[in-house]
């Protein structure tokens, strides 16, 4: 019997079959390009700014930015402490998308299509936004 941290044998077997079909190694050229990307990312560490304009504007809230809908607010929001803490969660992208759409004057139907997924097929923008603490501040 499997312990709590292992998968059952049948699941592992199916996983192994799946890996056979899908887990192909990228070509040498692609690996080289990945390596180049890595080097470029590491080089960016030397150019990391000590501070940025957005860091001087931490008080700017999401609601205000939605109302303003201007580029500087967009940048500030992405760097704000609230979103910093939020920035690697799944919802970060949804916030970015919503901000993008708010600026783009899309309809609620567009929001719905964008935000809906298999687990929340009926999710609409307003109920989603109202559940986000950042939108309520």
Partner 1 sequence: MSLDLKKQSLNRFLAEVETSAFKISRCMLRDEEAALDVVQDAMFKFVQKYSDKPHAEWKALFFRIVQNKTKDVLRKRKLKNKIFGWFGSEEYEELLSQKSDFGNNPEMILSAEQMQTELQISMQALPNKQQEVLHLRLFEQMKLESIAQTMEISIGSVKTHLSRAMQKLKPLLNEHSQETV
Q: In the structure encoding, which two tokens stand for residue 6, read together?
A: 């292992």
Residue with tokens 């970060």: 92
**Distance of alpha carbon 7 from alpha carbon 98, whole angstroms:** 38
Site for partner 1 in 113-132 (CB under 8 A): 113-114, 117-119
Give residue 126's Cα distance to chain centre.
19
14 binds partner 1 (CB under 8 A): yes
89 binds partner 1 (CB under 8 A): yes
- Please count the other Cβ atoms lying within 10 Å of the Cβ belonging to residue 85: 11
Site for partner 1 in 26-65 (CB under 8 A): 26, 30-31, 33-35, 37-38, 40-42, 44-46, 48
Residue pair 115/125 in contact (Cβ under 8 Å)? The answer is: yes
Total residues contacting partner 1 by CB under 8 A comes to 47
Which residues in this chain contact partner 1 in the complex, by CB under 8 A?
A: 4-8, 10-11, 14-15, 17-19, 21-26, 30-31, 33-35, 37-38, 40-42, 44-46, 48, 84, 87-90, 92-93, 96-97, 110, 113-114, 117-119
């Amino acid at each position: 019997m499997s312990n709590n941290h292992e998968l059952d044998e049948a699941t592992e077997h199916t996983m192994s079959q799946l890996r056979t079909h899908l887990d192909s190694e990228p070509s040498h050229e692609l690996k080289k390009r990945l390596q180049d990307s890595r080097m470029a990312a590491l080089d960016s560490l030397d150019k990391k700014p000590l501070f940025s304009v957005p860091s001087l504007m931490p008080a700017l809230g999401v609601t205000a930015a939605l109302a303003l809908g201007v580029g500087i607010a967009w940048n500030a929001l992405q760097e704000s402490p609230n979103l910093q803490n939020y920035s690697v969660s799944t919802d970060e992208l949804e916030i970015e998308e919503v901000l993008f759409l708010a600026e783009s004057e899309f309809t609620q139907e567009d929001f719905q299509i964008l935000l809906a997924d298999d687990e929340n097929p009926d999710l609409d923008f307003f109920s989603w936004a109202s559940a986000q603490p950042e939108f309520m501040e």
